[in-house]
Amino acid sequence: MVRFTQSFSHWLFENHKDIYALVLLGHTELVTEEMWNKYIEWCNTDDGKQYLKGGSKYDPDFDERKRL
Q: What angle do CA 9, 12, 13 make, to 5 degrees?
A: 80
Q: How many CB atoms lie within 10 A of CB 32?
A: 10
pLDDT of 50 reads: 97
12, 6 in Cβ contact below 8 A? no
Whole-number Å distance between alpha carbons of 8 and 51: 9
The residue ranking higher by pLDDT, 30 or 63, is 30
pLDDT, average across residues 49-56: 95
Q: What is the pLDDT of residue 20?
A: 95
- Are 60 and 66 in contact by the 8 Å Cβ rule? The answer is no
What per-residue confidence (pLDDT) applies to 12? 97
